[in-house]
Structure 1
Amino acid sequence: MAIATAKLKKVTKKVPVRGMMDNVMEQFNTAADQINLHPNIRKILSITNNEIIINFPVKMDNGDVEIFTGYRVQHNNALGPYKGGLRYHPTVDIDAARALAMWMTWKTSLAGLPYGGGKGGIKIDPSKYSHSELERITRRFTFALADNIGPEHDIPAPDVNTNSQTMAWIADTYMSTRPPAERTANQHVVTGKPDGSGGLEGRDRATGYGVYLSIKFWAEKKSVSLKGKKFIVQGFGNVGYWAAHFLEKDGAKLVAVQDAFGSIQNQKGITVEDLFKYSQINDGSIVDFPNAMSVKKEEFFTLDCDICIPAALGNQITKKNASKIKAKLIAEGANGPTNVEGEKILLERGISIIPDILCNSGGVVASYFEWLQNRNGELWQLDEVMTKLDKKLKESFDKVYAYSEREAMDMRTAAFCIAIERIEKAYVQRGIFP
């Protein structure tokens, strides 16, 4: 009689995917340990103050109603009003909003601004909706959110897939909900508005310009010339384009670009303005640019270059690709593009990283300028804005670089230490309300 034997199936334990919140908390705790952060203040800074989730209906062009989910997370306001962008992307969820809000707290503190940190957005693929539908979605979201934002409370700004037009809709909708006598006084409820609607001249290039300046300052500290240096950019929106624009003017050579549609390279160089013009007439896509060849998505970060600028989404550089990166410098144009495991590998290999809360802070600094301009009824010229940006970003970079050298630590930990110490000082001086 044959005896049937059952084959035992090998069970492999699934390792949970590490989210952005895991990364930001590990970064925070590393810095908090370094500065011996008071346990009570650590508790406060480890959680968010407020988390707002809104489900709201919007009528589409065809008459159908769709339900959208919007988020706004307010992390901390010890130093001033919450400040941070609104993004429209399918990856938007409460975990991502929490992490991004916390990064904004550190970013505004590091820059010495009178702001706290907030972040949010709508879980949506905006490419699937018409211009008029996006306007209705934005206005409906703003109406639902109106009691939770304000020019002295929480000040949104553009982020992934949102722009000056989005901010103009938000400002107009918000102001229409205020009493008539207060409407014009609330124009600075958002920053990143169009020039003709209270926006700051130069705001469009501020983040990318800040990325460029961070690279320039790093090169000066290392006594390295940018002339002839090869760089690659992930993301060719405002941040990636302007960073590439200014680097090319300094003699560096763009050799590869990746966007949501594909990846291209040309080791002899890609002219930034030519690629920009091509993308403008190609629905924002760089795919099939005639002076470059296509590259597989997973090979992008392994390409030969001196400088790598991730300026798209979070968690792009991980333990899967960090060991293959050839760049000597990572300049983080996006928020959280390098996760903790990826960073450890890069640092072990001697690759320098200019952290996001320093590298891409040009945008929030310019937002502060716009907020001041609206608040004081002033109008700043482009050259004045760029001069102020240069000065502010140089101060931040020098402070972080000096701290990292003095304490023999990486620049991210140094940046976090400086940012957290400033907030800790505010709590120590003011005390905790009983």
Structure 2
Amino acid sequence: MTLTKELKQKQQPKQGMLENVMQQFENAAELINLNPNIKKILSVTNNELIIHFPVRMDNGEVEVFKGYRVQHNNALGPYKGGLRYHPTIDVDAVKALAMWMTWKTSLAGLPYGGAKGGIQIDPKKYSNAELERITRRFTYALGDNIGPEHDIPAPDVNTNAQTMAWIADTYMSTKAPSERSRNQHVVTGKPIGSGGLEGRDRATGFGVFLTIKFWAEQKSVKLKDKTFIVQGFGNVGYWAAHFLEKEGAKFVGVQDAFGTIVNKEGIEVEKLLAYTKENQGSIVGFSNSENIAKEDFFGLDCDICIPAALGNQITEEKAHQIKAFLIAEGANGPTTVEAEKILLEKGVAIIPDILCNSGGVIGSYFEWLQNRNGELWELNEIIERLNKKMKEVFIKVLNVAESKKIDLRSAAYVLAIERLERTYIQRGVFP
């Protein structure tokens, strides 16, 4: 590489998640010749909240935190989307994630719109008591910007069922006693004892596995003895690996925020999970594994690659290294537009995020219905419903991809945006 070319590459700003989602939207809008007026509406968010709020720490000092909630579109129903706690979060990232949620809920045929939010924080630096106070204060600051029929948060990166329980309790405590029980479904992903759905913890990872399984069935590929790698060994990565291992596939590499480990003979999923619980969440040092450099992860020999961490992980540079024949996007926006072009040219199939990880929001919908109707669903019923729903959506996407001779992401976007377009055409735009 010449010095001039190298300098040019360094000077070029990296494309962020917002640019990626907008480019994906533009491509799909062109494919379906989207009504220009509806395109204008879908190109922007409805509401963007940035909240600064003070919280007293364990040592008595006060820290001021920055929180976000972006509501992209609610043409199909209440806003729906997760809350993440991460130091890299900013308004552009949240806008991108909110737009992806709109496409995801539309594609899945759910009566929801899209939103996303979070707090700019590294949760590892705070005690559990501090995280509870931060969460409750953020919920109070959001006020009626969330609500069971308006905007329904859920867990995301570094948040969990406990986080949702704190939010639900705080939100309900601001309502009159007679109203509290009717506001339990202000969030989904709650603990079972607090109105949560049995199996909601595995819904996203199980959905990732299901889409891989459906894809393999359609391509007459047997998953037994196929090798796979996972980036991110949190809730999504663990459950996807758990179900793939049960299918006979071999887990040969994993990366988390602490490091990257490989074992060509296979890594036992449950043993690794037990190890991380005893090792502050880290995979580093797991027995019978070899540590490798972070930048070598996507170049590992494998059949299936599951990015299940953060966005923009598979870049143009990484795309050239990938040896997998299938990428299943457990994370939101893990593949940049430029990287996808390279991968498709190489013949790599990509199951897009708005299809691949939609098991989470479908599970959230089931929980919301369960709370709303005062019902209690059993695990086998939930798994059966999730399987049926995801297969139905997967087949629709595959049929569009094959009939229009386009890739799976473009097909998923076409279906999602056409549903929104129909809604706007039928209702009209309020003058």
Common fold: TM-score over 0.5: yes
- SS of aligned partner of 1:379: coil
Matching residue of 1:242: 239
- Is 1:168 aligned to residue 165 of structure 2? yes
Structure 2 counterpart of 1:27, one-letter code = Q
Aligned AA (2:321): K
Partner of 2:380: 383
Number of matched pairs? 425
Gap change, CA 1:351 and 1:129, over 3 Å in 2: same
Report how far residue 11 of structure 1 moved.
8.3
1:272-317 superposed Cα distances (whole Å, 9 cap, x missing partner): 1111111111111100101210010000000000000000000000
1:347-386 superposed matches below 5 A: 347-386=344-383
Q: Are 1:127 and 2:128 matched, yes or no?
A: no
Q: Tell me which amino acid in the other structure corresponds to 1:224.
A: V
Residue 254 in 1 paired to residue 259 in 2?
no
Select which of 138, 141, 144 maps to 1:141: 138
The secondary structure found in structure 1 opposite 2:265 is coil
Q: Shift in Å at residue 30 of structure 1? A: 0.2
- Residue 265 of structure 1 is aligned with which of 258, 262, 265? 262
Per-residue Cα deviation, 1:333-363 (whole angstroms, up to 9, x for no partner): 0000001011010001000000000000000
SS of the aligned residue for 2:305 comes to: strand
Once residues 330 and 379 of structure 2 are traced to their aligned partners in structure 1, the CA distance between those partners, rounded to angstroms, is 22
1:52 corresponds to? 49
Q: 2:210 aligns with which of 208, 213, 217?
A: 213
Picking from 130, 138, 154, the partner of 1:157 is 154
CA deviations over 1:25-50 (Å, ceiling 9, x no partner): 00001000000000000000000000
Deviation at 1:381, TM superposition (A): 0.5
Secondary structure (helix, strand or coil) at the match of 2:228 reads strand
Q: Which residue pairs with 1:295 in the alignment?
A: 292
Which of 66, 69, 72 is the equivalent residue of 2:69? 72
Query: How do 1:182-221 residues align onto structure 2 when only pairs under 5 Å count?
Result: 182-221=179-218
In 2, Cα distance between the equivalents of 1:242 and 1:92? 25
Pair 1:344-2:341 in alignment: yes
- Give distance in 1, aligned partners of 2:143 and 2:401: 41
Q: Give the root-mean-square deviation of aligned CA atoms.
A: 0.9
The SS at the match of 2:244 is helix
Which of 302, 305, 329 does residue 332 from structure 1 map onto? Answer: 329
Larger mean Cα displacement after TM superposition, 196-205 or 173-182: 173-182
1:320 aligns with 2:321: no
Q: Alignment partner of 2:320: what SS?
A: helix
Q: Distance in 2 between matches of 1:260 and 1:341?
A: 24
Helix, strand or coil for the counterpart of 1:100?
helix
Larger Rg: 1
TM superposition shift of 1:179: 1.3
- With normalisation by structure 1, the TM-score equals 0.97
Report the equivalent of 1:109. 106
Amino acid at match of 1:69: K
> Counterpart of 1:167 in 2: which secondary structure?
helix
Give matches, 1:7-22, under 5 Å: 14-22=11-19
User: Which residue number corresponds to residue 39 of structure 1?
Assistant: 36
Query: Which residue in 2 is equivalent to 1:415?
Result: 412
User: In structure 2, how many angstroms separate the alpha carbons of the residues matched to 1:183 and 1:153?
Assistant: 16
Q: Which residue of 2 aligns with 1:5?
A: none
- Per the alignment, residue 3 of structure 2 pairs with none
Deviations 1:13-33 (A, max 9, x none): 821221100000000010000
Q: Does 1:26 align with 2:23?
A: yes
In structure 2, how many angstroms separate the alpha carbons of the residues matched to 1:146 and 1:114?
Answer: 23
Residue 92 of structure 2 is matched in structure 1 by 95
Give the equivalent residue in structure 2 for 1:7. Answer: none
Give the aligned residue type for 1:97: V
CA deviations over 1:125-168 (Å, ceiling 9, x no partner): 00000000000000000000021000000000000000000000
SS in 1 for 2:317: coil
Distance 1:66 1:330 in 2: 41
Task: State which of 275, 279, 285 in structure 1 corresponds to 2:276.
Answer: 279
For 1:337 and 1:396, how far apart are their aligned partners in 2? 21
Report the TM-score when normalising by structure 2: 0.98
Q: Report the counterpart of residue 403 of structure 2 in structure 1.
A: 406
Partner letter of residue 269 of structure 1? G
Q: Distance in 2 between matches of 1:163 and 1:146?
A: 21
Any idea what SS the aligned residue of 1:324 has? coil
Q: Tell me the residue number matched to 1:233.
A: 230
Structure 2 unaligned residues grouped into runs of 5+: 1-5
